[in-house]
Amino acid sequence: MNMAGHSGHPENGSGGRDGGNVVPPVARQAIKRGQPRWGDAAFRVTTAAFACLVLALVAAMAAVLYDKGYLSVRTFGLGFLWSRDWDPVRGLFGALPAIYGTVVSSLIAIAIATPVALGIAIFLTEMAPAGLARPVGLAIEMLAAIPSIIYGMWGLFVFAPFLAKHVEPVLKKLGGGTPLFEGPPMGIGMLPASLILAVMILPFIASVMRDLFTLVPAMSKESAYGVGATTWEMVRSVVIPQTRTGIIGAIFLGLGRALGETMAVTFVIGNTHQISASILAPGCTIASTLANEFSEAVSDLHVSSLIEMGFVLFLITTVILASAKFLLWRIEARITGK
């Protein structure tokens, strides 16, 4: 967990300052007026080079993944994306089950995590007394600090048996034989993967929403209270409408995280290349397939197919995260009036 994540709006540092351009001109003048300051020039160039390195890194990732996945691109073409084959022996690979599993598990996770995160953010900013909000907020952040693999291990040995015994039979009974709950209640499959993903992204979404809500000017909130609104009416008619774009941004951020989550999912999803209508059935995601098969893939085509899947995951998450960033920037610019 990083500090940008804690504060939720990474523009905080620079955005909160006026006259952010004070230093560079001063520095430039110092260089111009006095004797030539090679030290300054060198320092500036070096730091700029490292800054460019960050850009180069992402460009290199995209390029290298595409290049190493090219064998698969050439062999299967675009059909790779909607083929259901996965047969390393015959050299047939298709990413559809993994793409399906990635998208579906993340969407279910988002559907569960969003309302809860909203509740947590409202609780922490508007409802809880300060003495309670601080420790609860810290505990929620701890949830984000627990490593993915720990969620996975706990999921496999504790949560999966719990689901199989207490939750999935109930779902089957309630579902009454719909294909959604078909199959034996094993505790391994899409449902546990989605639930664990939901818990894992919960703190990220909640933390961004909380920071958004604290940005809403106290004046607007007090105006609502002034005309006699209850806390919930104030939240519904002031806080949420003012931060709507940001809330969507927070959800996208959670989605981006869920799509790429690896270890936790690998433990509980069952790692089967199949598409099933039942959420009790095992499946796979792009990340879990990579974690499972990459170091054991023998043929060049197998490795290349896996890398192409990694490239697809990289593209999807980049687009989702970039949209999240864009939405969050817009809302912050609007609320802080810059």
Partner 1 sequence: MARSKWLYIRRRIYNALMYVAAFLSALFGLVWLFWILAVLLRKGVPAINWDFFTKLPAPPGTPGGGLANAILGTLMITALATAIGVPAGVMAGTYLAEFGRKSALAKAVRFVADLLVSAPSIVVGVFVYSIVVMPMHGFSGLAGAIALAIIMVPVVVRTTEEILLLVPDSLREAALALGAPYWRVVVQVCYRRALAGMTTGILLAVARVSGETAPLLFTALNSPFWSPSITKPVATLNVTLFNYAMSPYDDWRSLAWGAALLITMGVLVATILARMVVGRIRI
* Min separation Cβ 71 and partner 1, Å: 12
Beta carbon nearer to partner 1, 279 or 309: 309
* Min separation Cβ 182 and partner 1, Å: 27
Beta carbon nearer to partner 1, 49 or 170: 49
Q: Which residues contact 141 (CB under 8 A, 6 or more apart)?
A: 1, 6, 203, 207
Beta carbon nearer to partner 1, 94 or 203: 203
Q: Which residues contact 285 (CB under 8 A, 6 or more apart)?
A: 98, 101, 102, 105, 193, 265, 269
* Min separation Cβ 156 and partner 1, Å: 7
Beta carbon nearer to partner 1, 134 or 173: 134
* Min separation Cβ 178 and partner 1, Å: 26
The C-alpha atoms of residue 239 and residue 220 are separated, in whole angstroms, by 9
* Min separation Cβ 306 and partner 1, Å: 7
Beta carbon nearer to partner 1, 278 or 332: 332
* Min separation Cβ 153 and partner 1, Å: 5
Among the residues of the chain, which ranges form H helices? 3-7, 12-15, 23-33, 38-68, 70-76, 96-122, 130-145, 148-154, 160-162, 168-175, 190-215, 218-226, 231-234, 240-242, 244-260, 263-268, 286-293, 300-336
Beta carbon nearer to partner 1, 172 or 257: 257
φ and ψ at residue 92, rounded to 5 degrees: -110, 125
Beta carbon nearer to partner 1, 49 or 277: 49
DSSP result, 227-248: TT--HHHHIIIIIHHHTHHHHH
* Min separation Cβ 125 and partner 1, Å: 10
Q: What kind and span of H or E run contains 93?
A: strand 92-93
Q: Which residues of 108-126 are buried (b: 16+ CB within 10 A; e: fewer)?
A: bbbebbbeebbebbbbbbb
Backbone CA torsion sign across 290, 183, 277, 202: negative
The C-alpha atoms of residue 2 and residue 266 are separated, in whole angstroms, by 24
Beta carbon nearer to partner 1, 193 or 278: 193
The C-alpha atoms of residue 57 and residue 144 are separated, in whole angstroms, by 26
* Min separation Cβ 22 and partner 1, Å: 5
